[in-house]
Amino acid sequence: MTPLESSPAWKALARHHSEIEPLHLRDLFATDPHRFDRFSREACGLLMDWSKHRITDRTLALLFELARERDLEGWRDRMFAGERINWTENRAVLHVALRNRSNRPILIDGQDVMPEINAVLARMADFTARVRGGEWKGYTGRPIRDVVNIGIGGSDLGPRMVVRALRPYGEGGPRVHFVANVDATELAETLEGLDPEATLFVIASKTFTTLETLTNARSARAWLVERLGSEAAVARHFVAVSTNREAVAAFGIDIDNMFGFWEWVGGRFSLWSAIGLPIALAVGMERFEALLAGAHAMDEHFRTAPLEENLPVILGLLGLWYADFFRAPTWAVLPYDQSLELFPAWLQQTEMESNGKRVDRAGRIVSWPTSPVVWGAPGTNGQHAFFQLIHQGTQLVPADFIATARSHHPWGDHHRLLLANCLAQTEALMRGKSEAEVRRELEAEGLSGEALERLLPHKLFPGNRPTTTLLMEQLTPERLGALIALYEHKVFVQGAVWGINSFDQWGVELGKQLAGAISPELVEGRASEGHDASTRGLMEWYLRHRG
């Protein structure tokens, strides 16, 4: 594949960018009353509005051309066909098979993966019903009241975000907690007040070698055995979710209590597999299946809709437009929905671990920015914290706003106020406030002369700050599934066009290796010569102060 910069569409986009740069969104709206109709679309229960982006029809046409030149459709079809597109690990990328509710055969090396997927789903359904129904008993005969999922990264962020988001659907189920950090604070604070007789641990790790997860799992196991007085209790209180049977058995978890998945499920795309067990335990298997169905609907949309009508494609290309041509270093995701408070954290791993890459498929260093830094927090809280920078700072921060028409908590005026703020923010970011408007306002307040002129620049809003708005009727399992899949495919689109491998994560390895070397030195109480002066100095300070 030719380098991205030599693609004709890329070169045309670079030229086109200088035509777009001086245009203001306010004028684009003023001259085109149909802008919203043309630049918004509903699919899978989600309305996406991209009319408040710094684009014209020509911008989109060039972006679609670029996607075609980069064979986006070919890459997409290869993913759905089970080809080993994660070539650095020689793996297929088939999280879409996990939620393939149509059950159409999906083959890897000629073998249909659907029967295995359905078998695990059936086991999850059975186990979930037994735990939620009180039939599954702890060692002393008590039903399960609390579930603690121990995992990290993709074995934590996805299920943690979904369980939080679907809290209104949690009645009748156990309380589900999550522990990820190797800092014992998280485990200790989670276990405080839990009754070991009624607590079930789910040890979630694709590899079952992850230091944080195994350390937490060992401590949880010691906590349980000490309190229940017998090793035999482990079988009733520990289940595992993994691809590594041997390691699960070596840890002491009965293989009958293990839920499997497959190497072709990437960690950050695994919430649809048995890694979603805590979701099913929290809200029931039917709702977990509704989540899968929502994602499947988005998969079908992504797989079949023309690029021009394809929401993940449009979202992905807009991201690329700002990252590469405006050189916007970050992208904010701002859910106006408290239930989605963990969505930005989940999205950080999904986008940044996938597309935070600096070499293309051929191993050449890329000369264009890849993934921006993704960040965000729920509205309206952010408005009283970092929105100042988005409105008036020096950096361009494109942002996605996500909201629902109906709240699960329809109290008084809350939801209307929430929505009014969400819509007002995107309007304000787009329009800004011109000098003439500020001048009029200040004059109306009785200011004039030097006092007015001094204040005026501080009260100006440049506007022209791009946003996407995503609306859905209500945050249901199905809609949430579609929303998550939308962003997963956005990541795919960008990776395909950038020509990078979105599905490996070698960048996390070096730190793990070095921690593996430092840790035993801290046990021995010495910092070896091999470290640089800074690291050695810090180690020595720690050794003097650790108490």
Residues taking part in catalysis: 353, 384, 512
Smallest gap from residue 370 Cβ to ligand F6P (A)? 17
Q: Per CB under 6 A, does 515 bind ligand F6P?
A: no
**Size of the residue set binding ligand F6P (CB under 6 A):** 14
Preceding peptide of 380 cis, ω within 30°: yes
C-beta of residue 54 within 8 angstroms of C-beta of residue 23: yes
The position carrying tokens 């008590």 is 142
Smallest gap from residue 473 Cβ to ligand F6P (A)? 32
Q: Per CB under 6 A, does 207 bind ligand F6P?
A: yes
Smallest gap from residue 80 Cβ to ligand F6P (A)? 22
Say what angle helices 57-69 and 311-320 make with each other, to 10 degrees. Answer: 100
- For residues 313 to 352, the per-residue mask of contacts with ligand F6P, x marking binding by CB under 6 A and - elsewhere, is ----------------------------------------
3-state SS assignment for residue 287: helix
Q: Look at the chain and count its residues.
A: 547
Question: Where does residue 541 rank: exposed (0-12), middle (13-18), buried (19+ CB within 10 A)?
Answer: exposed
124/238 Cα distance (integer angstroms): 15
Which range in 205-213, 375-383, 409-417, 430-438 contacts ligand F6P by CB under 6 A?
205-213
Amino acid at 207: T
194/196 Cα distance (integer angstroms): 6
Question: Where does residue 390 rank: exposed (0-12), middle (13-18), buried (19+ CB within 10 A)?
Answer: buried
Smallest gap from residue 351 Cβ to ligand F6P (A)? 13
DSSP strand pairing (199-204 vs 146-150): parallel
Q: Per CB under 6 A, does 404 bind ligand F6P?
A: no
Q: Per CB under 6 A, does 206 bind ligand F6P?
A: yes
Among 389, 424, 508, 522, binds ligand F6P (CB under 6 A): 508
Footprint on residues 208-247 left by ligand F6P (CB under 6 A): 210, 213
C-beta of residue 503 within 8 angstroms of C-beta of residue 266: yes
Q: Per CB under 6 A, does 155 bind ligand F6P?
A: yes
Q: Per CB under 6 A, does 148 bind ligand F6P?
A: no
Residue (154 or 376) nearer to ligand F6P, CB: 154
Q: Per CB under 6 A, does 158 bind ligand F6P?
A: no
- For residues 250 to 289, the per-residue mask of contacts with ligand F6P, x marking binding by CB under 6 A and - elsewhere, is -----------------xx---------------------
Which range in 75-83, 98-106, 147-155, 423-431 contacts ligand F6P by CB under 6 A?
147-155
Q: For CA atoms 137, 255, 279, 285, give the dihedral sign.
A: negative
The position carrying tokens 């670079």 is 14
Q: Per CB under 6 A, does 153 bind ligand F6P?
A: yes
List Cβ neighbours of 409 (8 Å cut-off, separation of 6 or more). Answer: 168, 415
Which range in 151-159, 225-233, 385-393, 469-477 contacts ligand F6P by CB under 6 A?
151-159
CA angle 424, 425, 426 (to 5 degrees): 95
Q: Which residues bind ligand F6P (CB under 6 A)?
A: 152-155, 205-207, 210, 213, 267-268, 353, 505, 508
